Amino acid sequence: MSPFSFYLFGVTGNLAQIKVIPALYDLFEKKLIPKGSHIIGVARKEMTPDQFRSFVWDILQTPNRHHTHPIRDEVWQEMCEHLSYQSGDFSDPKLYSTIKASLETHQIHNTIFYLATYPQLYESIFTNLKTAGLTNQDKGFTRLMLEKPIGIDLASAKRLNAQVSQYFEESQVYRLDHYLGKETLQNILTFRFGNGLLEHLFNHEFVDHIQITASEDYGIGRRGTYFDSVGMLKDVGQNHSLQMLTTVTMDAPKEFSNEAVTRERVKVLEKLLSDPEHVVFGQYEGYTGEEFVTKDSSQDTFFALRTTIDNERWQGVPIYIRAGKRLNQTCTEISLVFKNPINRLFSHLDSGNEPNILTFRIQPNEGIVFKFLSKVAGHDLKLEPQYMQFCYKYQGTDMPDAYENLISDVIKGDQTFFNDAVEVEAQWSFTDPLSAIRNRPIAYEQGSWGPQAAFELLQQDGREWLEPSLAMCAI
Ligand code: BG6
């Protein structure tokens, strides 16, 4: 692997602190950052090299939901050798000529720019990079990482994509949605297309419906300014929920390549029906009292919706998606609920009609569980549900964080688990009609499962939400 310079714009911001810096540490720990590479934090604030190192050290010492393991001294020392800091105003051309001069001094020809900044700053950064000659790839690669959401609706996403394409080739752009970097999501492709057993059941003939839940028991923390400008459907629904949906419903890609996998995700999105009659928006009680949130905010902190895919495979199969903050528990999972065959032998018994369910648990207690009926041992004929499960924890797997996976992919130049412009626009085409009808969201109690209307969404179809069980893979 050739050395590179990794410029992290917005290094003092929330995203860099919570996700990117810990992921970089993990990459050092796994020896995935080649010798001679440079990791440069960029922000407006003045900091000496020592101050920057102690800033990074403090971040690594602060446990967060995504990074909990101890920091090893030898890895930290190794990381320090590669770390430096560049202060500057992102709109000032001087910053970019300094970067250019530094790259020339170090004779490094591969560059990654990670923009962990407000999207409003993107255009000025792109123009400055271009003017300073930092976007071309004469001697090595130049790659750009942009965080979701790309735009705040279809029109703004198109504008941003058009801007990006003035400065970069599509092959240089890595639009990052960290859900695509999650091991548990990527493993769905292996489960489905690496095995022969169950894939032929993934269709309307066998699947009654699909449920996707992403629930968080925490609120918006200090991210009020950002969150209150988008709400839950745009923050999570337009991207993370749809990545889960496409991964579990896509057709088999022709090969395991970026073009083929992305193409299949996009094909699903193009056939996904937006149904404004079947969407519920909620807001947790107390949300308007959160820091940096407007007092009369009508932003959604919860949504639940029903959709279907208008293709041969999934014709008529409802897909229910919900996501929300300050709900009953933190859990993300996708479940396929299978149809009962008409000739079920034990349908006359209590529980004889319980459906088989296949659950991909994205987090926590990551794994895959298949629920089936089994006979209770004994002389009476009684049935009970049992579970076959694969749990990452049983294997003692050290699960790489999504950001670690994705940064490593950018280093390798692999765009498979990133969104291209077409995909992002297809996602907005699905969510825009839903956002358009959003009125004042329904208030829901903190710690609940959201507004009653979300339950009714399924009840009217004779179904109910599955409550994620934290007993799954809990060891
Ligand atoms: C982020 C959203 O993209 O994803 C957050 O902005 C959300 O609001 C987070 O909490 C969820 O990510 P994870 O990996 O914790 O499920």
Quickly list DSSP for 454-473.
HHHHHHTTT--PPPPPTTTT
- Once rounded to an integer, what is the mean pLDDT over residues 190-205? 96
CA distance 214 to 178: 14
- Once rounded to an integer, what is the mean pLDDT over residues 158-173? 95
State whether the beta carbon of 236 lies less than 6 angstroms from ligand 1.
yes
Beta-bridged to residue 309, according to DSSP, are: 272
Q: Please report which confidence band the pLDDT of residue 174 belongs to, taking 50, 70 and 90 as the band edges.
A: very high
State whether the beta carbon of 362 lies less than 6 angstroms from ligand 1.
no
Q: Which of 218, 238, 216, 234 is nearest to 226 (CA)?
A: 234
Active site residue 240: yes
Which atom of ligand 1 lies closest to the CA of 239? 3
Which atom of ligand 1 lies closest to the CA of 179? 14
- Over the Cα atoms of the chain, what is R_g? 24
**How far away, in angstroms, is 316 Cα from ligand 1 center?**
30
Can you say whether residue 92 is alpha, beta or left, with left for phi > 0 and alpha for psi between -120 and 50 degrees?
beta
Query: Residue 142: is its pLDDT beyond 90?
Result: yes
Burial of 445 (0-12, 13-18, 19+ CB in 10 A): middle
CA distance 333 to 364: 9
Query: Residue 66: is its pLDDT beyond 60?
Result: no
CA distances from 210 to 87, 192, 322, 379, 433 (A): 48, 15, 11, 36, 22
pLDDT of residue 396: 64
Q: Which helix (H) or strand (E) holds 242?
A: helix 242-249
Neighbours of 416 (CB within 10 A): 16
CA distances from 174 to 54, 150, 321, 404, 472 (A): 30, 11, 26, 14, 34
Which residue of 150, 177, 178 sits with most ligand 1 atoms within 8 Å of its CB, as the best mutation to test the pocket?
178
> Which residues contact residue 440 at a Cβ distance below 8 angstroms, ignoring those fewer than 6 apart?
298
pTM: 0.95
Which residue of 223, 227, 240, 243 sits with most ligand 1 atoms within 8 Å of its CB, as the best mutation to test the pocket?
240
Q: What is the pLDDT of residues 73-128, one digit of tens each?
A: 999 999 999 999 999 999 999 999 999 999 998 888 999 999 999 888 998 999 99
CA distance 56 to 321: 37
Q: Which helix (H) or strand (E) holds 59?
A: helix 49-61
Which atom of ligand 1 lies closest to the CA of 232? 8
For the chain, percent of residues with pLDDT exceeding 70: 98
Which of the 8 DSSP states describes residue 135?
S
pLDDT of residue 352: 87
Regarding predicted confidence, which is higher, 344 or 446?
Answer: 446
Let me know: does 228 contact 297? Beta carbons within 8 Å. Answer: yes
CA distance 332 to 361: 6
Beta-bridged to residue 282, according to DSSP, are: 302, 442
CA distance 321 to 318: 10
CA distance 235 to 233: 6
Which atom of ligand 1 lies closest to the CA of 332? 16
Residues in the chain: 475
Query: Residue 68: is its pLDDT beyond 90?
Result: no
In degrees and rounded to multiples of 5, residue 112 shows phi and psi of -120, 125
State whether the beta carbon of 216 lies less than 6 angstroms from ligand 1.
yes
State whether the beta carbon of 244 lies less than 6 angstroms from ligand 1.
no
- Once rounded to an integer, what is the mean pLDDT over residues 302-308? 98
For the chain, percent of residues with pLDDT exceeding 90: 86
In degrees and rounded to multiples of 5, residue 414 shows phi and psi of -110, 115
Q: Please report which confidence band the pLDDT of residue 341 belongs to, taking 50, 70 and 90 as the band edges.
A: confident
Which residue of 68, 236, 293 sits with most ligand 1 atoms within 8 Å of its CB, as the best mutation to test the pocket?
236
CA distances from 28 to 39, 41, 53, 72 (A): 11, 16, 15, 11
Helix axes 49-61, 73-82, angle to 10 degrees: 140
Structure tokens that stand for 406 in this block? 């994705």
In degrees and rounded to multiples of 5, residue 398 shows phi and psi of -90, 105
State whether the beta carbon of 235 lies less than 6 angstroms from ligand 1.
yes
In 19-140, the DSSP E strands lie at 38-43, 83-87, 111-115
pLDDT of residue 395: 66
Q: Which of 145, 149, 117, 144 is nearest to 130 (CA)?
A: 144
CA distance 420 to 427: 11
Q: Which of 119, 454, 148 is nearest to 320 (CA)?
A: 454
Which of the 8 DSSP states describes residue 277?
G
Structure tokens that stand for 226 in this block? 């950002």
Q: Which of 109, 259, 90 is nearest to 170 (CA)?
A: 259
**How far away, in angstroms, is 221 Cα from ligand 1 center?**
12
The answer, yes or no, to whether the previous bond of 149 is cis (omega within 30 of 0) is yes
**How far away, in angstroms, is 216 Cα from ligand 1 center?**
9
State whether the beta carbon of 333 lies less than 6 angstroms from ligand 1.
no
- Once rounded to an integer, what is the mean pLDDT over residues 272-297? 97
